[in-house]
Structure 1
């Protein structure tokens, strides 16, 4: 397991921004650092977490940053029916488990089955996604 120092993690995020051609700003750096800590955050949770360190930050500014991050491939977006979308740092392909009660999202390492060619005649499949839906441990206890 690789452990990064706070300074090392900060430098990695700065390099990510530079690699995709985005200017390094305090708010961009903070939002990416919050996302780099892991988890799936909606815009409001992301704004609140980044605001704790920055002092001021609007949800609209975070929406704008996320649009740039999505366009450059730095982050991915996961739509949750009935709940706000959540974002995470782009990484290795993976699947998700979604709690239908509280909206909690967890990453799941699972291979995607390849559909038989007969099932999608004439199609060129570019990606596939499996979403496991159910109740998370906390909602099952409640």
Structure 2
């Protein structure tokens, strides 16, 4: 019963933003809903296991629609493929500088300081904590 409830919630999310419910869209959004930060290759591989066929190009197109409608967010990692996650409560990120792992961080972004920004109207802030994840700390040379 839980799986069908989860599936129904994902179907409703697609409908709420005006996207047509298709098998591939539903599967890709379910992969994102399962949690974590995944790059296009990981999303494609995971969704393909259930669908049988799915191209990376199709996933890129779906993600573009999900980003445009606010269903998903993108986090750019310098020198590595971007990762995507399902949209949710505002949060910040921690990035491992060795392996590229990304984790959510619950914290309040700071307010900008400085007279040079007095004319600005800020909409959002992004803070990225950079360091080494527990796995990389445990390896030699961490």
Q: What TM-score, normalized by structure 2, do the two folds share?
A: 0.95
Q: Deviations over 1:5-53 (max 9, x none)?
A: 1000000000000000000000000000010000000000000000000
Secondary structure of 1:84's match?
A: strand
**How far apart are the structure 2 equivalents of 1:10 and 1:86?**
23
Secondary structure at the aligned position of 1:78 is classed as strand
- Provide runs of 4+ in structure 1 moved above 4 Å: none
Q: Distance in 2 between matches of 1:81 and 1:116?
A: 26
Q: Equivalent residue for 1:35? A: 32
Matched, 1:68 2:65: yes
Cα distance in 2 for partners of 1:99, 1:77 equals: 16
Give unmatched runs, 5+ long, in structure 1. none
Question: 1:12 maps to what in 2?
Answer: 9
| Rounded Cα–Cα distance in structure 1 between residues aligned with 2:114 and 2:125 | 14
CA distance in structure 2 between the partners assigned to 1:79 and 1:136 by the alignment? 17
Where structure 2 has 5 or more consecutive residues not aligned to the other structure, the ranges are: none
1:66-105 CA-to-partner distances (Å, cap 9, x unmatched) read 0000000000000000110000000100000000100000
Secondary structure of the 1:32 match is: helix
Aligned residue for 2:109, secondary structure, equals: coil
Asked whether 1:138 is paired with 2:135, we answer yes
Distance 1:37 1:17 in 2: 16
Q: 1:116: Cα distance to partner?
A: 3.0
Report the secondary structure of 1:93's partner residue.
coil
> Post-superposition shift, 1:121?
2.5
Matches within 5 A, 1:58-97: 58-97=55-94
| Number of residue pairs the alignment of both structures matches | 139
2:110 maps to what in 1? Answer: 113
Question: d(CA) in 1 for partners of 2:107 and 2:77?
Answer: 19
Query: Structure 1 residue 117: deviation in Å?
Result: 5.5
Matches of 2:111 and 2:100, distance apart in 1: 28
